[in-house]
Structure formats: C-alpha cells, structure tokens
Amino acid sequence: MKSLIDIWKENKDAQKKKNTKFVRKLKKHNGKHLDKFTAKIHDKVFEKIDCINCAGCCKGIPPIINKNDCSRIAKKLGISVSEFQNNYLTIDEDNDTVMNTSPCVFLLENNKCSIYEFRPKACKEYPHTNINFSKNLNYHATNSMYCPATFHILEALKKSVPV
Ligand code: SF4
Ligand code: SF4
C-alpha cells in the first residue's frame, strides 16, 4: 500500500492550481468553524504521517525568525545575538527575517532538528493546520508543495467543505 508521502509526491503538482483556488474560496467560511473542523482532520492526517520520514519544511522553507527566537537560539549556540543574526539570518522577498540556508543548517542527516527544544516559533507552528488555519489561508496551497500533511488535509477538506 502506498504511503501518504508517496501519494503526495505523485499528485502535488497536479493539485497545486486547484488548491490555490480552493483555499481562496475558503475565505467565505466562518474562520472559527473552519479552524475547529480542520484541526480534527490535522490530527487524523498526522496519525499517518511521521515528520521524521519527511522534513520537507526543514528542507524547503526557511522559517521566519522572531526576536525571541534569536535570543533563545543564540544562547543555545553560545554566541551573541548579533553573531547569530549575521551568520544565520537573512531578509526574504516579503521583508521577513528568515534562516539563510535551505535545507536548514540545523537539520541533521536523520531528519531530526539539532535545536529541537529551542527551535523557532514558526517551526513549532508549521504547517498551521491545527490552530489558526483560517488566518493562514494564503500559505496552504504553497505549503502543500512542501508538506504532505498539508496536501492531505486540503484533499480531505475538498471532499467535505462546500465552496
Ligand atoms: S530549526 Fe529545526 S525545525 Fe526549524 S527548519 Fe531548522 S531543522 Fe527544521
Ligand atoms: S513538511 Fe509537513 S509532514 Fe513534512 S516534516 Fe514538515 S510538517 Fe511534517
């Protein structure tokens, strides 16, 4: 039987445009209801996908780093905040401060995160499908290209939420 990750690899490109249109149409739904409904699907999908077999986000999407992340991670690394900023961060096209390497420099060969307990808030919250799904509608279609879980959550929503 194919894994959800294999199914994602085979279908993600074909669904990209449809997903973009679908999430746009989800904007008309009540955000709170949508978040609650999606959180249940999130839990079911993540029962079948182990992030250790994937690490697509760590390999493909540099996380946004906020001020608290900077201080926490710099402390963990034993360097100053300015050293951390100069050596590890950059500004992206949206003017956000992000990690300057992709795959992430903290990703280990076994797909684990070497700073897991201190990882950025954005990494903890990714892929934004269990809380605040409705506030992140602009990102889910793009995320479905990197994240098999997001892809399958959108597939389940397409089957159950009228747009
Ligand atoms: S900090 Fe850790 S969780 Fe975040 S992208 Fe890097 S390896 Fe992944
Ligand atoms: S891309 Fe999605 S499924 Fe893959 S490791 Fe990140 S959160 Fe987990």
How many Å lie between the centroid of ligand 1 and the Cα of residue 38? 24
Do 54 and 67 fall into the same domain? no
Domain count, the chain: 2
Residue 73 within a domain: yes
Residue 4 within a domain: no
Do 139 and 152 fall into the same domain? yes
Residue 7 within a domain: no
Residue 136 within a domain: yes
Ligand 2 neighbour 57 (Cβ under 6 A): yes
Ligand 1 neighbour 120 (Cβ under 6 A): yes
What are 97's strand-pairing partners?
Answer: 91
Ligand 2 neighbour 154 (Cβ under 6 A): no
Do 98 and 70 fall into the same domain? yes
Do 132 and 54 fall into the same domain? yes
143 pLDDT exceeds 90? Answer: yes
Ligand 1 neighbour 61 (Cβ under 6 A): no
pLDDT score, position 90: 98
Pocket test for ligand 1, best of 51, 52, 58 (most atoms within 8 A of CB): 58
Pocket test for ligand 1, best of 54, 70, 88, 106 (most atoms within 8 A of CB): 106
Output the DSSP codes for 27-63.
GGS-HHHHHHHHHHHHHHHHHH--GGGT-HHHHH-PP
pLDDT score, position 39: 98
115 pLDDT exceeds 90? Answer: yes
Do 88 and 135 fall into the same domain? no
151 pLDDT exceeds 90? Answer: yes
User: What predicted TM-score, i.e. pTM, was given to this entire model?
Assistant: 0.94
Residue 109 within a domain: yes
Mean pLDDT of all residues belonging to the chain = 97
Considering the chain, what percentage of its residues have pLDDT values greater than 90? 98
Tens of pLDDT along 39-73? 999 999 999 999 999 999 999 999 999 999 999 99
* Mean pLDDT, range 125-138, rounded to an integer: 96
Do 50 and 81 fall into the same domain? no
Domain span holding position 29: 13-58+127-160
CB atoms within 10 A of CB 85: 16
Tens of pLDDT along 78-114? 999 999 999 999 999 999 999 999 999 999 999 999 9
* Mean pLDDT, range 1-22, rounded to an integer: 96
CA atoms of 63 and 120, how far apart (whole Å): 7
Ligand 1 neighbour 107 (Cβ under 6 A): yes
How many Å lie between the centroid of ligand 1 and the Cα of residue 162? 35
How many Å lie between the centroid of ligand 2 and the Cα of residue 80? 30
Residue 146 within a domain: yes
pLDDT score, position 133: 97
pLDDT score, position 1: 87
Residue 106 within a domain: yes
Do 69 and 109 fall into the same domain? yes
CB atoms within 10 A of CB 144: 26
